[in-house]
Amino acid sequence: MATTKLLSDDACRVCGKEDDEEFLMLCDGCDRPFHTACHQGCTCCMTKPRNNFARKPAVPEGDWFCKFCAGRLPSLGEGKSPISSIFGWGDNEDGQLALQDTATKVIWKPTKIHELDGIGVLDIACCETCTFVLCNDANLYSVGTGLCGQLGHQDVVHEKLLHFRLLESMTEEKRSKGEGRLSQIHAGANFGMVVTTAGHVYTWGNGEFGQLGHQENKNKKVPKKISALRELEVPVELGMLAVVILASGCGR
């Protein structure tokens, strides 16, 4: 008979561990602790977590929204948009943290990234050497190094991009009408994928193993639409060198 291990009141409800207490926060909705790195999916965390744990540094001021709550942001006044704060840490050798300090190869603690201050962030995805940020205004930005074209810019391949840059080809003005807004961003080892609200899928970057879905093993410097996936509900999962898409509709 299998036994279920009961979690202590101080254990992260996602990973079950009690270590790294300085990175625990308490959700105002469900009243449970989560590590900041693990907390993704609690649908009640619509307000700032309480500082019940001795956090160093303290939880930044402002409202907190988990990734899955992003589509249910409260209505704001006319002309106002949700504001997000972005923090990054880890490998910075290729400038993928947008800290303009590639001399520091590793960032050991969460550090605020000021590049996109004042912009509401909907989603973030990370390749090995670059980072993508999808904003609430449906604009997509990239930063880092893209030797295979994974930055999504025709004119930036071998050099480092140390500042977030808008992917011009993915703005609503440049895409076909009826595709909807950009709603999801995903990343593999060195390629990217974006999905629209109408179910259109674009990929770019390293296509050596056919992972871009364009029936060829070629790299793409800018996002290209996958013609076989149009107007479908497409839950997506990316691995290092592969893509899995579960499509519904059209008999698929």
Q: Does 65 share its domain with 185?
A: no
Question: Is the Cβ–Cβ distance between 219 and 205 less than 8 Å?
Answer: yes
75 within a domain of the structure (yes/no): no
Q: Are residues 29 and 113 in the same domain?
A: no
Q: Which residues contact 31 (CB under 8 A, 6 or more apart)?
A: none
Domain end position, chosen among 69, 93, 122:
69
Q: Is the pLDDT of residue 46 over 80?
A: no
pLDDT of residue 244: 53
Whole-number pLDDT of residue 51:
47
* pLDDT tens digits, one per residue of 138-164: 899 999 998 888 999 988 877 889 899
My answer on whether 141 and 215 are in the same domain is yes
From CA 143, how far away is CA 158, in angstroms rounded? Answer: 13
The predicted-structure confidence for 87-119, as pLDDT tens digits, reads as follows 888 989 899 999 877 677 888 888 888 888 777
In whole angstroms, give the CA distance from residue 32 to residue 248.
Answer: 35
pLDDT at 208 over 70: yes
Q: Tell me what pLDDT residue 133 has.
A: 93
CATH number, domain of 219, equals 2.130.10.30
Number of H helices, E strands in the chain: 0, 14
User: Does 4 or 31 have the greater pLDDT score?
Assistant: 31
**What is the structure's pLDDT at 140?**
94
User: Do 127 and 150 reside in the same domain of the chain?
Assistant: yes
Residues of the chain with pLDDT > 70: what percent? 60
Is the model's pLDDT at 242 over the cut of 60?
no
In a shared domain, residues 116 and 61:
no
Assess if residue 176 is contained within a domain: yes
Confidence of residue 23 (pLDDT cuts 50, 70, 90): low
Task: Please check whether residues 92 and 63 belong to one and the same domain.
Answer: no
Q: Binning pLDDT at 50, 70 and 90, where does residue 236 land?
A: low
Average pLDDT over all residues of the chain:
73
Q: Give the separation between CA 206 and CA 213, rounded to whole angstroms.
A: 11
Q: Which residue has the higher pLDDT, 99 or 237?
A: 99
Distance CA 126, CA 114 (A): 18
In this structure, are residues 133 and 164 in contact, taking their beta carbons and an 8 Å threshold? yes
For residue 204, what pLDDT is reported? 93
Task: Specify the CATH number for the domain of residue 23.
Answer: 3.30.40.10
Q: 236-238 and 243-245 as β-strands: parallel, antiparallel, unpaired?
A: antiparallel
Q: Are residues 12 and 94 in the same domain?
A: no
Asked if residue 26 is part of any domain, the answer here is yes
- Per-residue confidence at 233, pLDDT binned at 50, 70, 90? low
Question: What digits encode the pLDDT tens for the residues 63-86?
Answer: 555 444 444 455 555 666 556 678
Q: How many domains does the chain have?
A: 2
Domain that holds residue 138: 83-236
For residue 242, being part of any structural domain is answered with no
